[in-house]
Amino acid sequence: MSRNSVTILFTVALVFVYTTAFGQNPDIDILKVVNLNRNTALDWPFKIISAAAFPVSYGIPLMILMAGYRVKKRILKQKGWYMAGSMLLSAIVVNILKYTFQRPRPFISYPFIEKLSAGGSPSFPSGHTSDAMAMAMALSLMFPRWYVIVPSFVWAGLVGYSRMDLGVHYPSDVLAGVVVGIGSSLVVYWAFKKRSTKAGQPVWV
């Protein structure tokens, strides 16, 4: 599948999620089930998972970059910059969407939703989820082994679920975060791959 095809696919997916989000009824119905019927014993684990999303997502590229420059390995540095680029694009897209649509948080529109975590910016899409998914996708592309891919996406999925469990995002916010995160990593991957191919350099080997 070409880069343009995937870009179109993710754009269509994002539009679908957006239209679903502002239909609102299924969104709040699902959130009520997740938030109001949650296992309260899992509140603290989910708070920790949610709070760790940013430092883990941005810390991993930094560590790989530092390792690459320390051991002077071009490929390792290339992987680190690719991952950093994926995170940057994801963050830019998320913030553009957040402040374009200005969707209120669910606990603001529906006071019966129990807010258990911070959530100050507009709701759509989930930045925590996009960060986690961008990192999971980028890490999986850089190190395509099952013991990297499976834990990465399990962790990213838990981050997304935690944002609903803690009452700070609708399901559609989380789905949009998945689309933005994975889409950003794929777009940056193809950009790096094209650049390396033109320069006659190997990619991710």
Residue 203 falls within a domain, yes or no? no
Closest among 192, 66, 85, 79 to 139, alpha carbons compared: 79
Task: For residue 86, tell me if it sits in a domain.
Answer: yes
Q: From residue 106, how far is each of 34, 46, 109 by CA, in Å?
A: 13, 18, 5
| pTM metric for this prediction | 0.86
CA dihedral 93→98→99→105, nearest 10 degrees, is: -170
pLDDT for position 68:
92
pLDDT tens for the chain, 205 residues: list them. 555 555 655 665 666 566 655 656 788 999 999 999 999 999 999 999 999 999 999 999 999 999 999 998 888 999 999 999 999 999 999 999 999 989 999 999 999 999 998 878 899 999 999 999 999 999 999 999 999 999 999 999 999 999 999 999 999 999 999 999 999 999 999 888 877 666 556 555 4
- How far is the C-alpha of 157 from the C-alpha of 181, rounded, in Å? 12
Phi, psi of 85 (to 5 degrees): -65, -40
Quote the tokens at residue 185: 């990593």
In the chain, how many domains are there?
A: 1
Residue 84 lies in a domain: yes
CA distances from 172 to 40, 116, 147 (A): 23, 19, 29
Q: Is 63 part of a structural domain of the chain?
A: yes
Cβ distance 86 to 137 under 8 Å? yes
Counting Cα atoms < 13 Å in the Cβ hemisphere of 159 gives 29
Is 175 among the domain residues? yes
Find, among 123, 132, 112, the residue nearest to 17 by Cα.
123
* Residue 49 placed within a domain: yes
Looking up residue 155, the CATH number of its domain turns out to be 1.20.144
Residues whose CB is less than 8 angstroms from the CB of residue 7 and which lie 6 or more positions away in sequence, other chains included = 183, 187
pLDDT of residue 205: 46
Task: Identify the domain containing residue 40 by its residue range.
Answer: 3-198
Q: Is residue 204 part of a domain?
A: no
Contact status, residue 180 vs residue 97, Cβ threshold 8 Å: yes
Query: 110: which 2 tokens?
Result: 């529906």
Round to whole Å and give the CA distance between 173 and 159.
12
pLDDT at residue 9, rounded to an integer: 57
Structure confidence at residue 75 (pLDDT): 87
205: in domain: no
